[in-house]
Amino acid sequence: LTSVRYPLLKRGNFSFLSDRHLGFFQSILSAHQVLTDELNDLSGYNVDWMRSVRGSSRLVLRPKTTEEVAAILQYCNVQNIAICPQGGNTGLVGGSVPVFDEVVLSLELMDEVISVDELSGVAIVQAGCVLEKLETVLHLSNLALPLDLGAKGSCQIGGNVATNAGGIRLLRYGNLHGSVLGLTAVLANGQIMDCLNTNKKDNTGYDLKQLFIGSEGTLGIVTQVALQCQPKPSSVQVGFFGLNSFENVLETMRLSKRNLGEILSSCELIDQSSLECVTTQLELRSPINNFPFYMLLETAGSNASHDAEKLNSLLEILVNNGTIVDGTLAVDSAQAKNLWELRERISEALACEGYVYKYDVSVPIRQFYQLVEDMRIRLGNLPIRCCGYGHLGDGNLHLNITSQEYNPILLNRIEPFVYDWVCQERGSVSAEHGLGLKKRDYMEYSKSPTVIHWMRRVKKLFDPNNILNPYKIFPEQSSTD
Ligand code: FAD
Ligand code: 2HG
Ligand code: ZN
């Protein structure tokens, strides 16, 4: 068997699902936890958010407890059944859907918030809890999440941990390697790895939980997470600004970091083409128009007048010296939400144009926009658009190129040029979305052969039969590897 979409990929030597296997799963789970109706139940689990990767799984298992996950994995390991772990299925690299007939293990029924401690700020959550639900619960205790992203209405905390999701607040709170204090993971052989630490500090040997953060379902199934949350800010300001050059963008970022200091919570870039796409495709209104660059700045603090004073004095400098030409400050949370939509809904808007060639790269900040410009020159009028936006404050560019439909000529103009470009700058070919299936062949552009060798050894150690998310992350191994 080969995959229809990926003709060069060969199905691994895994067992085909039999009635005996199904009988086992039905004996340990209730009826609504075992989905087999291909037409009515399975299609959503087999296709990714971008609708660019499609698997043909015949079975979705929906455990409710860590012990159920353990029983499933133990059986699959012995029976040599491949598994595709799935959270909210919002991943952008094809990691969350099966490639062939892997059994989908969905965490969606494990959605409980187990405890929230307002004093320490630690929340313990089942992995399948949707991020937005967790946010709502945290707000009741005056706490806030250390991460936020456009997919929060669907993505799950376990999926966020498995991808080490970044998002729009990483600048302020860092990534999940810092915010996840502990987790429980079920290993491929069914063993339960209890690393559910809730202490801020714990240097008792190797910090094994870190391996699961960003492992994209290849080392274990994350079932519970202990998350360090933050005090909910009582004062939030959102500003949206137009700028005439990328030099001015960099100067605005530099001074924002310096002058806003600890209250700066987001520093995002949107270029003209991205804004045009989101406003036309989704009929959103931008308060300012016709600038080559836009920046969205957010502050979050605990003292409204202090925060306003800081932002106003920054803006006075930037406007007086001509760095910022025009802009607006949200007067209430509804306006702030509208401004955020102009940034957070760009992916959705791009998808409306047809086929999207998506690149998520880390590059040195001075070169941040150069890749978009070089790519535009290279592609001429082949694509509908070539745009750049993203987490400027973290040096993470989202380069997106669209065409009406998949065009191999266009793809060959983009790749491997884009990866060579990033590699030359010693950037990362996947800053926050991971490698999954779609980016797995480009790992070597950001990691040395020695590093890849040791990653493979870690994978082999944790999952010797390769049942957990096979075909993902690692490039196909050649006989000389
Ligand atoms: P899925 O998509 O279901 O899975 C992602 C990967 O994790 C897969 O490899 C899967 O096998 C594995 N996995 C899922 N759950 C588990 C588990 N419990 N245990 C082990 N493995 C598991 N990403 C960012 O980093 N920053 C952003 O700002 C951002 N914005 C986005 C905006 C939109 C509109 C969309 C659609 C996506 C965005 N993403 C972003 C990508 C995506 O949302 C994140 O990667 C998210 O963290 C995935 O969570 P999920 O629950 O949907 O996981
Ligand atoms: C974002 O920051 C997401 O909006 C998605 O990471 C980026 O679709 C993209 O390119
Ligand atoms: Zn992003």
**Rounded-to-integer distance, Cα 470 and Cα 64, Å:** 24
Q: Tell me the two tokens of residue 3.
A: 């995959």
CATH of range 113-231; options 3.90.1170.50, 3.40.50.300, 3.30.465.10, 3.20.20.20: 3.30.465.10
For residue 166, the CA-to-ligand 3 centroid distance in Å is 7
Atom 10 (ligand 2) nearest CA: 398
CATH of domain 353-445: 3.30.70.2740
What would the two tokens of residue 377 be?
A: 């020159």
What is the mean pLDDT for each group of 10 consecutive residues in the chain (481 residues)?
66 98 98 94 96 96 98 98 98 98 98 98 98 98 98 99 98 98 98 98 97 98 98 98 98 98 98 98 98 98 98 98 97 98 98 97 97 98 98 98 96 98 98 98 97 98 98 81 53
Return the ligand 1 atom nearest residue 347 CA.
34
Contact 477, 23 (CB under 8 A): no
Specify the ligand 1 atom closest to the Cα of 156. 51
Query: Which residue do the tokens 């202990």 mark?
Result: 226
CATH assignment, 235-346: 3.30.70.2190
Only one residue has tokens 């630690």, namely 122
Can you tell me which residue has the tokens 């560019």? 397
**How many other CB atoms are found less than 10 A from the CB of residue 451?**
12
Q: 113-231 and 235-346 share one CATH topology?
A: no
Please state, in angstroms and rounded to a whole number, the distance separating the CA atoms of residues 349 and 280: 8
- Residue closest by Cα to atom 4 of ligand 2: 344
Q: For the whole model, what pTM was predicted?
A: 0.97
Please tell me if the CB atom of residue 163 comes closer than 6 angstroms to any atom of ligand 2.
no
Question: Counting Cβ atoms within 10 Å, is residue 444 exposed (0-12), middle (13-18) or buried (19+)?
Answer: middle
Residue nearest to atom 25 of ligand 1 (CA): 165
- What distances in angstroms separate CA 409 from CA 352, 379, 412, 413, 420, one per listed residue? 21, 10, 5, 6, 18
Ligand 2 atom at minimum distance from 399 CA = 10
Q: Two tokens at 161?
A: 């941990």
- Distance (Å) of CA 286 to CA 165, 282, 335, 339: 28, 11, 11, 8
* Pocket residue to mutate for ligand 2, from 164, 389, 391, 397, most atoms within 8 A of Cβ: 389
Which residue matches tokens 């493979």? 456
Report the alpha-carbon distance of residue 262 to residue 338 in Å, rounded: 25
Q: Is the confidence metric ipTM above 0.85 for this complex?
A: yes
Rounded distance from Cα 398 to ligand 3 centre (Å): 7
Residue whose Cα lies nearest atom 36 of ligand 1: it is: 90
Q: The tokens of 343 are what?
A: 């940034």
How much is the pLDDT for 81?
99
How high is the pLDDT of residue 474? Answer: 97
Q: Judge whether 394 and 166 are in contact, CB under 8 Å.
A: yes
Closest CA to 223 of 286, 91, 129: 129
The alpha carbon of 93 and the centre of ligand 2 are apart by a number of angstroms equal to: 11
The residues spanned by each domain of the chain are 113-231, 235-346, 353-445
